[in-house]
Structure formats: C-alpha cells, structure tokens
Structure 1
Amino acid sequence: MSELSLSFACWDYDRTKALREGRVRAEGIALNQLILPVEETFYRQLRHREFDVSEMSLSSYLLTLDEPDPPFVALPVFPSRFFRHQSIYVNERSGVVRPEDLAGKRVGVPEYQMTAAVWQRGILAEYHGVPVESVTYWTGGLEQGGREEKIPLDLPGHIRVRPIPRDRNLSEMLAAGELDAVYSAGQPSCFGREPHVRRLFPDFRRVEEDYFRLTRIFPIMHVVVVKRPLYERHPWIARSLYKAFEESLRHAYEDLRHRNALKVMLPWLEEHVRETLDVLGEDYWAYGLERNRHVLDRFAAYSHDQGLASKRWAPEQIVLGQASDGFLL
C-alpha cells in the first residue's frame, strides 16, 4: 500500500525539526513540510485552504468552528506557546503606569481576533482590572500599513474596534502618542529606540512566572489542523500524525539537554533549561487534550467573552480527544 502524500505548512520550529529532517516519520504518510512564516500560512490556509495539514492560530481556528461547514479538525498539537505579558507596550507619556491605567485608552492590535491579543485582553481583564470593553482598539499592521482581519468579525456593539489609516502602522502611532499602548505578538520597532515606549510589565519574567504558578497556564498560541474532508476520508491519519508530532517533540527536548556540544547558540543553556524546568515542570510543552484542558477552556472563555466565538467551546470540541492508551480517538 502506497503512502498518503500530504502537504504540511509550518514555521521552522525545533519541535518539528525531526519530522522535517526525516528522523521521525508519520506512519503511512509522506509528509511534505513547507517552511513558511506563520502569517503567510494562516492567510493562505484560512482564505484558500491550500494545505492538507497546517499550523493555525488558535483564535482563528475557533472562529472557523462557527461556520456552517467547519473546514478544519484540530489535533492536540501546539507548535507555538508564549507568555504574552511581555508583549504589551505602552507610551509612558499617556499616563499608563499600572495595568489598570489602560482603561479608557487607545490600544493598537494587529488584528482584534489574533490569539496573542485574546490572551492579553483576557489576562488584563481577569487579573488586572482592565475590562475588555473599557478600551478602544485600533487595528492595523505593526510595521506596515494595510493589514486587515483574516476573518470577518461580527462584534457586539459594546466592543469598539476601529482600523487605523492604511498608510500608517501601529509602531509609529505608539511612538507619536496617537496610541497609548500596543498589544502584539512581535516587538514594535519603536521599542528600544524611543525612550518613552516601554513594556507595561518591565519585570515581565517574574510576572509571567507568578501567572503560571497561579493558573498553571502556559498559553497556547497555535494548533495543528487537518482539512476536515481529508480527515473524514482517512480518520487514521490523526493518530499517525499525533504520534509523529509527539516523537518530534521528544527529540527537541533531548536537543536542549545535549551537553557534549551546544546545539543552540546560548552559552548558559543548561542554566536556562534548569530555571525553566524549576518553574514550569518537566513536561512544560505538553501535547494532548487532557494535559491542556484547562488552557483550552480558559482561552475558549476569553474568546466568547470578547465577542469572537459564538459560544464557549468545550476543550473536546476544540481538539480531538485521546483514548486511555494515549492515541487519538
């Protein structure tokens, strides 16, 4: 029996490296991995359904579940995770000293629905006294003009979202004081160049560690999706892909622990790994539904509360479940 040939679009991650290099293979599948920037992958998959398997924004994926015929099925594989306190930037001339000072301010976001911003708004609302509706959001490119939402939004009236002019970008508007803050994934170029632009949480590592100790949440940014018609024709590919992604993740863990010669250009890598494990635990980048149920549940609540998802999706409605033997159902 010949292997099923599938395309897979994803960024250049250490956790997918073993798959890309052929050290790990998905049983019965010839996986053609395409290395693409995440925003290109998301746009091409959401607008044109170009890939059999792809990395996908968790927020965008939840919105596709509201479609009459949802186009994707998500595996409990999370190629991107990120603490996002560190990615909130403010213009200190706007009087933003504490998080609660953001209420009533003008905040730039590349897209209202982007996963990073959903986490940031949710965390600020739940833990720092900044209700989602207390802010006016301005959307557009972080460095280049003309960016639009990848998915059309139908937001409730109490949430105010406006586009910036197409010839402007969020970074320059933050530096000029036309925006009071920016919630982003990337770092605006004005940070480090303009002394009045700073992080909302200067001691972000301590804040993020405290957040994890309180919630046990290491925020999920992206999932891996399979086109639904493909999965319905060949449901066995879910187990095969999941096992391969798990094995590739194990190789990435091993590379971090390799000490004969450093595989990563960090001279104190061992100390950094030890500090990470001390806070997050051995299995900190876990795949699977049950080990991430609380993370998915919190994100689903944020998405619904922020006027995005039409309902609060249950974790088992978001990603495929697992049987007791660890394989996908």
Structure 2
Amino acid sequence: MAGFFRQLRFKEFDISELSLSSYMLTLNQPNPPFIALPVFPSRFFRHQSMYINTKAGISKPEDLAGKKIGIPEYQMTAAVWQRGILEDEYGVIPSQVQFYVGAIEKVESDVQRISKVPHSLPEGVTVTAIQKGQNLSEMLANGEIDAIFSASQPFSLETSENVARLFPNFKQVEAEYYEKTKIFPIMHVIALKRDLYQAHPWIAKSLTKAFAQSLDIAYEALEERSALRYILPWLEDHVIEAKRLMGGNSRWWQDGFAENKHVISKFLDYHYRQGLSQRPFEAEEIFAPNTLESFVM
C-alpha cells in the first residue's frame, strides 16, 4: 500500500494504519518512531493465498520442501504468517525452500520491488530478487518458480491451467485451523507517532475507545435485516456461519489486547524465528500501555 510506504519512509502522518510486520521492524530501531494500538483493521486467513504450479509435483503442503516460492516481500505480514503456518502445521521450515521476491504482476515502471523497511535474514534462508521485467505470476505459470505466497491473487490463477491453489478446499482448511488454534491472523495495526503519544498519551486511549465504538456500528450494519447493507446476497447466512465457528460471544472480529494476545504472541514468535525481530518481544511491549485494558462497548 502506498500509504504504508509513505509513513514508513517519510513519517507523513500522525496516525496511520500499518502492516504488523513492518511496524515490528520499526521496533528494531534505537528510537522507534511509532507505537501501536490494539486495533486491527485487517485480518485474513492465509491458506487461501498460497498458489502452486500444478506440474511442480506438489500435492500436499509438505511437498513444498526444496521448492522455489515467490513472495512480494520477505518481511510482509501475510508471508510471515504463511511461513509460520507451513512450519507449525506441516513441518516445512524456511531454510528448506528458496524464496524469490518481486512484483506479483507486471508493472509499468519495470523496477525491482524493494522492502518498505530494511531487515536482516536468518542464517540458512535464501532470498533472491527476481530480475527487472519479471513478475511472479508469469514465473509461476511458466514453471520458473513452484509456488507463490502472497496477499493478493496472481492473475495467472485465472489465465493458466498450470496454476492452482495449494488448498482447493481452503475454507474447510482455514475453519479447521481456527478451531485448532483460535487464531484469526492479524495483518494490520493502527499506529501513532511515538513523540505524539509521549506528549499526549490520552490520544491513544481515546482513539482505541473510538475504534471500539466503530466496530459496534459495523456489527449493527451486518445484523440489519430490513435491507442488505452490503452487496452480498446471502449476507445473513455468512454472518450465522461466522458466529457458529468463531463467535463465542457473537463477535468473530474483535479488537482489544486481551482478546488477541494469543494471536499477537504467535505472530511475534514467527517474526523472531524468521529473523525479522532482533529480539523476542512480549505482546504487551508493542502497544501503548494505556490501551491494554478492554474497551469493548
């Protein structure tokens, strides 16, 4: 996202949405420029965003050992989750594959994609930038790489018979993953400039309360039955299904620290094990201290 790049490189905004992984990388700096709120505007199960070349001899996740996997950036949040899931659930560790980084689709500027935030790599992990003029989607279809882990869907899924999802039944797989782990992966956080927070700490608490109220409004819109608020013809059925699987308190999407500590802790473990965080972090460390209490309205 362009907004992420502008904030991470130029710090243009007092308050912004940020990639969780990119935010964590800023905490490696001697004077971290941002501090996060336990507000999570983007969450996504990521099994469905793993794509394979159907001729690469991959019939199950374990077959990815020894393969070439394309990713837009090594540090991106989606890829951190996907590598972690691949290791935890299927026993394939990052050092067993070769990563290739670059644009998913052809870009007019024809430049190599770079990481939004500089980072190191762990020993044994191989990451190679693809060449100018190449893109991961075409490379997957052509068999130059064996898989893509991404946030977005490669166009070649629609245009090439050689491209398919690693998990054709991804909805079932993701539901089983949630039932096992109770993890609905967090992608983004809301972050403040740290100097703003230090000067006016009340802003963090007030914003967290405001986001809690906005989530209430979002749920009210989903549960409106007199007319559909969103252009989904079977919206009610999806809401019922999500509640049944994930909504122990009728809320399948929750902000707040306590409600998400287990999700954050798992991500922080992945981030450190994958060589991105310079030290292990506790979940409490990464948020404004005055936002750790619950603000569910």
Distance, in Å, in 1 between the alignment partners of 2:197 and 2:287 is 13
- Secondary structure in 2 matching 1:90: strand
CA contact (8 A) 1:239 1:327 kept: no
Aligned to 1:22: none
CA contact (8 A) 2:52 2:163 kept: yes
Q: Deviations over 1:197-254 (max 9, x none)?
A: 0000000000000000000000000000000011111111011101111101110111
Q: CA distance change for structure 1 residues 192 and 68 in 2, over 3 Å: closer, same or farther?
A: same
| Consecutive aligned runs of 4 or more in structure 1 exceeding 6 Å deviation | none
Aligned to 2:4: 42
CA contact (8 A) 1:54 1:224 kept: yes
Q: CA distance change for structure 1 residues 289 and 109 in 2, over 3 Å: closer, same or farther?
A: same
**Equivalent of 2:77 in 115, 121, 128:** 115
Aligned to 1:253: 219
Distance, in Å, in 2 between the alignment partners of 1:310 and 1:324 is 24
In structure 2, give the amino acid aligned to 1:90.
I
Q: How big is the shift at 1:285?
A: 1.2
Q: Structure 1 unaligned runs (5+)?
A: 1-38
Distance, in Å, in 2 between the alignment partners of 1:129 and 1:116 is 18
Same amino acid, percent of matched pairs:
52
Distance, in Å, in 1 between the alignment partners of 2:156 and 2:141 is 6
**Equivalent of 2:187 in 221, 234, 242:** 221
Instruction: Show the 5 A alignment for 1:20-39.
Output: 39=1
CA contact (8 A) 1:92 1:196 kept: yes
**CA-atom RMSD in angstroms:** 1.4
Q: How big is the shift at 1:287?
A: 0.9
Aligned to 1:171: 137
Mapped pair 1:306 → 2:274: yes
Aligned to 2:210: 244
**Equivalent of 1:183 in 131, 143, 149:** 149
* Greater displacement, 146-155 / 116-125: 146-155
CA contact (8 A) 1:107 1:180 kept: yes
**Equivalent of 2:239 in 236, 251, 273:** 273
Distance, in Å, in 2 between the alignment partners of 1:106 and 1:171 is 13
Aligned to 2:263: 295
Aligned to 1:16: none
Q: Deviations over 1:163-217 (max 9, x none)?
A: 0002111101111100100000000000021112000000000000000000000
CA contact (8 A) 1:289 1:320 kept: no
CA contact (8 A) 1:94 1:177 kept: yes
**Equivalent of 1:140 in 85, 93, 102:** 102
Aligned to 1:160: 126
CA contact (8 A) 2:38 2:292 kept: no
- Highest RCO, 1 vs 2 (Cα 8 Å, sep ≥ 6): 2
Q: Deviations over 1:44-78 (max 9, x none)?
A: 00000011100000001111101000000000000
Distance, in Å, in 2 between the alignment partners of 1:327 and 1:271 is 28
Q: How big is the shift at 1:156?
A: 2.4
CA contact (8 A) 1:289 1:321 kept: no
Mapped pair 1:316 → 2:284: yes
- Secondary structure in 1 matching 2:192: strand
